[in-house]
Structure 1
Amino acid sequence: MIGTTDPMSRGFDVERLDAIRGWMQRLVDERKHAGNGLLIARDGDLVFNHFSGLRSVEDGTAFERDTVARIYSMTKPVTTVALMMLAEKGLFHLDAPVSEFLPEFSDCHALIDGATAIDQTEKCATPTLHQLATHTSGLSYPFNPGVLAAEMDVQDVIFRADQAPLADEVRRLAALPLAFRPGTRWEYSVGIDVLGRVVEVVSGKSLAAFFEDEIFGPLGMTETGFSVRQDQTGRFASLYTPLAGDAMGLNDAEKGAESLRRVDANHRSVFLNATTFSGGGGLVGTMDDYLRFAEMLRRGGALGDARLLSPRTTAFMMSNHLRGDIASMGPESFAEQPMEGMGFGLGGAVVLDAGRARVPGSVGDFSWGGMASTFFWIDPVENLSVVFFTQLSPSSSYPTRPQLKALVHAALTG
């Protein structure tokens, strides 16, 4: 379904593509990445693949095309596809309050403006499915600034792979107030983890089973799931950080003496036997698998004989759902993309104005990344699908994403 062709036949300058190889190797030589890999497809055919460095520094194993990696928040577009597959069946509409499916959200309260303590709240509306999908629900993440984020950190509400089943983790989250009234701001959040639980309730399947039966199986994504299978363990990468403390501790991030400190070893990772199916950040998989998913989106919801969504639903999902760009929504949170000139669809960011985003790209390109510095984007104007993998947390450590977009666009000359 995804062939391979000569890059020149798809408008790429081969010498300029070689600059990408050099950039990837420099990241390894400078000990910014242990290893990395890149796939570029245009018009449905693979035109470039390259891999540098190691998937495990300690084991000395190469970062190769079949490396299994943590994709963290690149799980979010998968969950929103699942959501829209159910919406296409008429089982709900996006303006439905989440309490219709999860009664633990029936009595919602939000922190008052200027709150300094978690109990300074007022009653508010329940977030809708749409607000959860677009990060306007009032939920947060422990690594964001603010009162709610700090309390989530204290209570360890993060939907980590080794926590309780998804239903239990969502109930713990629902016991906390919202950071703000739904719809009034944009804040990167665990909202799509909650949508994963909605998918379970509506479908009657675990999120893992729904993904396998309805998405991974049809698309041929045989290497992706919530746990690393036994036959994959030899190809599973370790996770590294340049920080001295918590690899996701963005509020007090401090660079350590070692730029590649291992924080999740491939042979004893929490992903070897996941107990929490996190729709916001729980998947592991390979680059080729994710390229199949990205190509499905670029092709309007289908890959080969497998159609997951209609072209119109797919275009709706990848359009801007905010009233302006992210910056206009008063964000106070961490984000894995620029905020100016960028809108947000269902599970990913959308380029509204590449100049204001200060990153080369086409209007309408859809993208998202993961905390381990993985990244993908789909460019509907240039018919591009690009998938980049490495395993370095946090993703804000180095400006690899805008650099990569600049390199790819520089190599595209036809």
Structure 2
Amino acid sequence: MNIRKLGRLDTLIENQREKGRLQGATILVEHNGKRVYENHYEPDREDSIYKLFSMTKPITSVAAMILYERGELDLMSKVSDYLPAFAECKVASPEGITKAVNPITIKDLLNMTSGIVYSGDFGEAERSMTRVYKEAKTQRQSGILRSNVDVCNKLAEGYLAFEPGSGFRYGHSADIMAGVIEVITGKKYSEFLKKEIFTPLNMEDTGFWIDESKAFRQAVLYRRDKTGKVVRAEDDVKRRMEMENPTSMPWFEMGGSGLYSTANDYAHFAQMLLNKGSYHGKELIGKKTLSFMTTPQLPSGIQGQFWDMNGCLGYNYGNYFRILTDPAMASSNGSIGEYGWDGKAGTYFFVDPSEELIVIYMQQIEGGCDYSFIRGIRQIVYGAI
């Protein structure tokens, strides 16, 4: 690794800061088991705690695969075997609302081929999930729904965007996966993650809420104004991002977007992935399982729907990871088989097994990362090899 070339990361990031497009951030680069670059941009610091949002999903993937390896989770089984409400799913189509013909499988949850959507206003499925999600939150806070599992069963009332297995759609699938894990283990999802993943990986600052004693370390949340410059986020932005009470237990432990963490904690997780399932002599999952996890899962007929997502052109998807399959299409100097994911406040990571490379980038901006900027980071890092 050419360390001098990595200095271009400073220039790239400072340029963003001078333009007002970025303020606080952290970036780590590890190569061949050594940290070759690390920087923290004020007001962020080495131990800043960030909301991971969808970078929670790869952790949920590992949690599911721990049970898969133990023979406790069959990926071909029906979600309704664990969460009965999913036996009655309905599909929203141009022809109207009809009962789903295909059952949602665990494999569908892991590959986002379930048809389960997020809240929104794009089509009947998103509108129905907007209503159901609001009801679930109200009912959980009032005590009508008593657990994460109850919330998952409630979300089954939202319409699916398509017949399970017939398309790709980003949505609450990983949140439902966490509910399945709770049913199998009989433990709260947070307890399972702490015992099976966070403690073995020394991820001391990772969880669904921030301890009061660490609250001063929370990274500042920003939003972009009309000119694209970042300014501190107001309380209504925090409410939209469901970050208004970071030191309180959440109403729903979401396996898709709920965790807080630090760059160093997440580096431990990425190191375990790079080391084929082991960290400092502790094996979380076996190398064959990790290989399966990071193998492209979407068939060619569905892959194009994944490419519609920002930053995913040239990639396939599987088990909550994007996996680089076509560097030319992605305009990337990266390696085939490189994998990772990002989060909606702009966190981003990837692992490249062939180059023994890890990159972790953290920020907190409503609206997520600038993918041109992220491509710049990737180009510089790969250009230094």
DSSP-derived class of the 1:218 partner: coil
Distance change (3 Å), C-alpha of 1:151 and 1:397:
farther
Residue number among 264, 268, 289 corresponding to 1:292 in the alignment: 268
DSSP-derived class of the 2:359 partner: strand
Residue number among 341, 344, 364 corresponding to 1:368 in the alignment: 341
Greater displacement, 388-397 / 376-385 = 388-397
Match for 1:75: what amino acid?
T
Deviation sequence 1:320-353 (CA, Å, 0-9, x none): 011138643x3596x3531x32111211100001
| Contact 1:142–1:158 (8 Å) recurs in 2 | no
Matches within 5 A, 1:14-413: 14-54=3-43, 63-112=44-93, 114=94, 120-143=97-120, 145-156=122-133, 165-242=147-224, 255=226, 259-262=230-233, 263-264=237-238, 269-273=244-248, 274-324=250-300, 327-328=303-304, 330-331=305-306, 335-338=309-312, 340-395=313-368, 397=370, 399-412=372-385
C-alpha displacement of 1:276 = 1.5
Match for 1:271: what amino acid?
P
Q: 2-side partners of 1:389 and 1:143: how far apart?
A: 26
DSSP-derived class of the 1:349 partner: strand
| Contact 1:240–1:391 (8 Å) recurs in 2 | yes
C-alpha displacement of 1:171 = 2.2
C-alpha displacement of 1:90 = 0.5
DSSP-derived class of the 2:199 partner: helix
Greater displacement, 30-39 / 282-291 = 30-39
Q: 2-side partners of 1:122 and 1:100: how far apart?
A: 18
Match for 1:179: what amino acid?
A
Q: 2-side partners of 1:240 and 1:368: how far apart?
A: 21
Distance change (3 Å), C-alpha of 1:104 and 1:229:
same
| Contact 2:310–2:371 (8 Å) recurs in 1 | no
DSSP-derived class of the 1:297 partner: helix
Distance change (3 Å), C-alpha of 1:307 and 1:408:
same
| Contact 1:342–1:351 (8 Å) recurs in 2 | yes
Match for 1:307: what amino acid?
E
C-alpha displacement of 1:176 = 1.7
| Contact 1:25–1:53 (8 Å) recurs in 2 | no
Q: 2-side partners of 1:353 and 1:20: how far apart?
A: 25
Structure 1 unaligned residues grouped into runs of 5+: 1-10, 55-62, 244-254
Deviation sequence 1:138-167 (CA, Å, 0-9, x none): 01112473221123234445998x965422
Q: Quote the sequence identity (%).
A: 28
Distance change (3 Å), C-alpha of 1:297 and 1:288:
same
Structure 2 unaligned residues grouped into runs of 5+: 142-146
Distance change (3 Å), C-alpha of 1:181 and 1:66:
same
Q: 1-side partners of 2:215 and 2:20: how far apart?
A: 24
Greater displacement, 29-38 / 255-264 = 255-264
DSSP-derived class of the 1:120 partner: strand
Distance change (3 Å), C-alpha of 1:234 and 1:96:
same
DSSP-derived class of the 1:212 partner: helix
| Contact 1:301–1:314 (8 Å) recurs in 2 | yes
Greater displacement, 268-277 / 279-288 = 268-277
C-alpha displacement of 1:92 = 2.4
C-alpha displacement of 1:271 = 2.1
Distance change (3 Å), C-alpha of 1:310 and 1:332:
closer
Distance change (3 Å), C-alpha of 1:396 and 1:163:
farther
C-alpha displacement of 1:383 = 0.6
Q: 2-side partners of 1:381 and 1:321: how far apart?
A: 20
CA RMSD of aligned residues (A): 2.5
Deviation sequence 1:60-110 (CA, Å, 0-9, x none): xxx111000001000000011000000111112101110111111112221
Q: 2-side partners of 1:402 and 1:151: how far apart?
A: 35
Query: Which structure carries more helix by proportion?
Result: 2
Q: 2-side partners of 1:149 and 1:186: how far apart?
A: 14
Q: 1-side partners of 2:372 and 2:127: how far apart?
A: 26
Q: 2-side partners of 1:242 and 1:351: how far apart?
A: 30
